[in-house]
Structures are given as structure tokens and as C-alpha cells.
């Protein structure tokens, strides 16, 4: 849905921050993200992982790019949700085989994505971008498989394999497969790889403005390094489970050894950022 005066609002925000460099953009739109997710178990069908190994190298056709980016964000969010549910299991120091494997992750993501979008990625070429979606699911599977020695190590409670680490590694794997960048970012970033670029920093300021409708994401067609791309950012807000590491008191060290940000439940925590090449 097009939003009137989107460019004007961003430029107003930029003027509030002297010295910020505006880029040239061609299209502005917003979406309001649904929050329904279903948690079901499903045994992964044989062949899905092999299909997902096919690299997605073609840019996305104009016209459906915003929907594709929205689906990619959905897949990342579902994967992090699956991991969040497993944190107590993963950090159990007395248990060896946790049963939390890459296949389990992939099967859960596929089933929950079907429930959320009505798209069954187990059906060959169910949509033109199915291979791109499956490449992301495969990246999520691979990341979980790679940390099996850590997950299943006895005698250690906190393993450090948290949703933010998972999402960062998935983004790195997925970029190698597809050329599409998926990134967690925020003003209070902890990892240098999550530092917002100029575009992301400006949109994050927009998300933090009380005039911006909570939960609305921002999507725009623009040029990056001389190539047309779609950029989408989806805001994320601090939930109760985030506050153990990011809540009060501000400055106190959390379990990872990092300083807490002092967030309260519902505060803007950051965003998922997508950069997708276009034809």
C-alpha cells in the first residue's frame, strides 16, 4: 500500500539529524505485519533439503518483490521463534543429545510458514520464488547442524547460541546462496555486523518516532552500488524474554558479559533488514 508523503516524512526525520546524507529513492510503501503464528510439529519430507541446496542467483522480478521480502522476513522470524522455544533444552547442562537438529528446524519452519502464508514449500515450484525461500530454510538448517557439538555438550549451561546469533549466521549463509542480504540491525547493536548503514539508521529513527504506527514496516526501491534493489525493514520490539539480557538495570552485565541496554517491554529493539537485487 502506498503511503502519501513517505519521502517528506523521511526527509523531515533526516533534517532532525544534521549531516545525514539522503539517497535517491524511487518508490515508497509500507505494510502492516500480521502476528499470527502456529506452532506445530511436522516430520520433514525427504528431498526438501536437497531441493533447497539449489542456489538462487536470479534477481527478483519487479512487481512482487515486496511480497517476496515479506516472506523472507517471515521465514527468519519463524526460525528464531523455533530456536527461542528450544533455549531451555539447549542450555540444559545435564542432557547430551538435545534432539534439536537441522532437520527439526527445517521441518518446523516449513510447517509454520505454511500455516502463516498458505504456501507449502514442500510442493515443487509452488510459487516462482520457492527456490529462494527454500535456500533460506536450508541456511537455517545448516546453521543448526553446524552448532550440534555446542548444543549437545554436557556440563555447560549457557551455550551462547541465542536467536540473534542464529539470525546473523543464517543471514551470512543465505547471502552466499542467493545474493540477498538479511540482517538484524538496531541503534543499540552489539555485533559490528549488525551496525546500521545510513538507510537503516534513518528508518530506525523513523520507527522510533511516536508518529510512526507501531508494527508498520518500510519498503523502498532504490539504487545500491549502481544496481536496482528493494530494501525492506521490519521493526521489532522488546518482548519479556528479551529483558533478561537487554532490560534493566542499564549497564549491568548480562549472561553474555555485555552491558544491558535498559529496555522495557515494548521498546523498539531494532529491525530485520532486507536488501534484494531487482531485475
In order along its 279 residues, the chain shows pLDDT tens digits of: 333 334 433 443 333 333 323 233 333 334 444 433 332 333 333 344 333 333 343 444 445 899 999 999 999 999 999 999 999 999 999 999 999 999 999 999 999 999 999 999 999 999 999 999 999 999 999 999 999 999 999 999 999 999 999 999 999 999 999 999 999 999 887 778 889 999 999 999 999 999 999 999 999 999 999 999 999 999 998 766 675 667 677 777 777 777 767 667 778 889 999 999 997
Which residues are CB-contacts of 181 (< 8 A; sequence separation ≥ 6)? 171, 175, 273, 274, 275, 276
Alpha-carbon dihedral 141, 146, 150, 154, rounded to 10 degrees: 70
Tens digit of pLDDT for each residue in 205-242? 999 999 999 999 999 999 999 999 999 999 998 766 67
d(CA 75, CA 61): 20
d(CA 218, CA 71): 14
Instruction: Sketch the domain layout of the chain as residue ranges.
Output: 1-32+184-279, 36-179
Which residues are CB-contacts of 127 (< 8 A; sequence separation ≥ 6)? 119, 133
Q: In this structure, are residues 99 and 105 in contact, taking their beta carbons and an 8 Å threshold?
A: no
In Å, how far from its chain's centre is CA 139? 13
In terms of Cβ atoms closer than 10 Å to its own Cβ (0-12, 13-18, 19+), residue 127 is middle
Amino acid at each position: 500500500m502506498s503511503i502519501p508523503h513517505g519521502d517528506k516524512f523521511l526527509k523531515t526525520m533526516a533534517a532532525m539529524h544534521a549531516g545525514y546524507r539522503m539517497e535517491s529513492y524511487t518508490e515508497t510503501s509500507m505494510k502492516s505485519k500480521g502476528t499470527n503464528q502456529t506452532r506445530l510439529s511436522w516430520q520433514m519430507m525427504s528431498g526438501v533439503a536437497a531441493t533447497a541446496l539449489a542456489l538462487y542467483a536470479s534477481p527478483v522480478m519487479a512487481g512482487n518483490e515486496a511480497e517476496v521480502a515479506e516472506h523472507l522476513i517471515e521465514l527468519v522470524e519463524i526460525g528464531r521463534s523455533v530456536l527461542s522455544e528450544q533455549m531451555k533444552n539447549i542450555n540444559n547442562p545435564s542432557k547430551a543429545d538435545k534432539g534439536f537438529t537441522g532437520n527439526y528446524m527445517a521441518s518446523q519452519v516449513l510447517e509454520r510458514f505454511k500455516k502463516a502464508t498458505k504456501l507449502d514449500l514442500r510442493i515443487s515450484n509452488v510459487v516462482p520464488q520457492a527456490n529462494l525461500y527454500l535456500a533460506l530454510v536450508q541456511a537455517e538448517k545448516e546453521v543448526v547442524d553446524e552448532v550440534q557439538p555446542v548444543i549437545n555438550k554436557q556440563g555447560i549451561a549457557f551455550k551462547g547460541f541465542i536467536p540473534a546469533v542464529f539470525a546473523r549466521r543464517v543471514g551470512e549463509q543465505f547471502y552466499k546462496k542467493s545474493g540477498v542480504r538479511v540482517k538484524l540491525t538496531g541503534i543499540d547493536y552489539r555485533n559490528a555486523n549488525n551496525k546500521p548503514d545510513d538507510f537503516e539508521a534513518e528508518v530506525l529513527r523513523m520507527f522510533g518516532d511516536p508518529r510512526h504506527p507501531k508494527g508498520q514496516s518500510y519498503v523502498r526501491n532504490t539504487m545500491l552500488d549502481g544496481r536496482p534493489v528493494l530494501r525492506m525493514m521490519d521493526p521489532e520490539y522488546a518482548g519479556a524474554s528479551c529483558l533478561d539480557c537487554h532490560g534493566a538495570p542499564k549497564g549491568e552485565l548480562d549472561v553474555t558479559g555485555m552491558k544491558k541496554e535498559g529496555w522495557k517491554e515494548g521498546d523498539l529493539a531494532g529491525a530485520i533488514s532486507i536488501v534484494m537485487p531487482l531485475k
